[in-house]
Amino acid sequence: MTDYYLQDRSRLKGQPKKTIGDYVESKGILVPKRFNSFDDAKKSGLPIIARSEHPQEYDGLSGLLESPRFNLGEFKEIISEEEFFPKSFVHRMNNKIKCYNIYLHQNESQLKKEISFSYWELLGGTNHIIIADSAIPERYHITCLFYFKEEHERYNRQDARYYLVEKGKIILENSPLRSNYPQLRQYSPKDLEELVLMYEKIRTFENFDAQHCPLMEFQTVNDLHYFLQYHRTRDVDYSSFIIERKAEEGEIEALFVRGKTSHEGMIVKTTVVYADYVLKKPWEQWRVPPEQEASLDLSYYNWILDETMQKMGKARFIDAEVDRILLDIASRHRKRSV
């Protein structure tokens, strides 16, 4: 089975998020309201998010562009579409695009021409990311992100969680804030099963390749799951073996893993830290060692390079505090697209 959109990329209409959203909604799945233009979005009287669109966002870099959002009060003050994107936003985008084009030897002017935004209703609730494991059947990686505020607190807090679900059972849960905020919602296997069932339903729609393990994003409001995005990652490639023993001396057991090695394992040439970072060179001057096969996650200071290299090496080792990496994955598109 092949992917309908990869057969002819023009079918994405230059806006993969909106195009896929329209398609998924036509199959009976809830999707937030989309608007045909900035003016239609403004007239709706709803809080709005301008979702970044580019053809490569379907199966390329995740999170290269940003998606500005405004609540109803702020949106009323905006007169034109140009005002929706402040100078600081445009400056950040130009810097990111410049780095991206240098790293991948792309045409900067062409990429800019292909950038657009689709206007969606901005929902509250909880954001969920779910990915089927490509190496182990019936295993799913799920992150949850939501905001909460204690009565005595002035600002909202973010709670990021990670669940590893296999055959309907939660086999790993990591929720750094629950120890400090025990009143926060505890997910049950049934809660996550609903997400898995929706993921599998969409995954097998005829326009998609059912033997692929996409990243899907959902927004859950009042127990209703709204589809947000389908982003291609990797094809199914099940492992022929399982390691059931405990880690031996000199070994480190990872908190969560995607992908597989051969039965014999593998040795990869790994960059511990980039010389250009140590030399404090500007991001656009960073270069990847040609012999590199993997790297430690010490390039997060330059996350565009980090995201770019995820699709080019043999392995990616993320060395970070659990709290930070969970928030990074759940809220910033980083390190989750392969």
Residue 285 lies in a domain: no
Q: How many CB atoms lie within 10 A of CB 29?
A: 17
- The answer to whether residues 25 and 137 belong to one domain is no
Report whether pLDDT(337) > 60: no
pLDDT, tens digit (0-9, with 9 covering 90-100), for 171-190: 888 876 665 666 677 788 88
pLDDT, tens digit (0-9, with 9 covering 90-100), for 14-37: 999 999 999 999 999 999 999 998
Helix axes 87-104, 303-310, angle to 10 degrees: 40
**Among all chains, which residue has been given the structure tokens 């329209």?**
22
**CA proximity to 333, closest of 52, 46, 49, 29:** 52
Report whether pLDDT(79) > 70: no
- The answer to whether residues 163 and 255 belong to one domain is yes
Residue 74 lies in a domain: yes
The Cα 254–Cα 296 span in angstroms is 13
Number of domains in the chain: 2
- The answer to whether residues 254 and 201 belong to one domain is yes
Residues ≥6 apart with Cβ < 8 Å to 5: 11, 12, 16, 19, 20, 58, 207
Q: Find the domain containing 145 and state its range.
A: 126-266+314-331
Residue at which a domain ends, from 64, 92, 121: 121
DSSP single-letter state for residue 279: T
Q: What percent of the chain has pLDDT over 70?
A: 79
| Cα dihedral 150, 151, 152, 155 sign | positive
Task: Supply the pLDDT for residue 139.
Answer: 94
3-state secondary structure of 298: coil
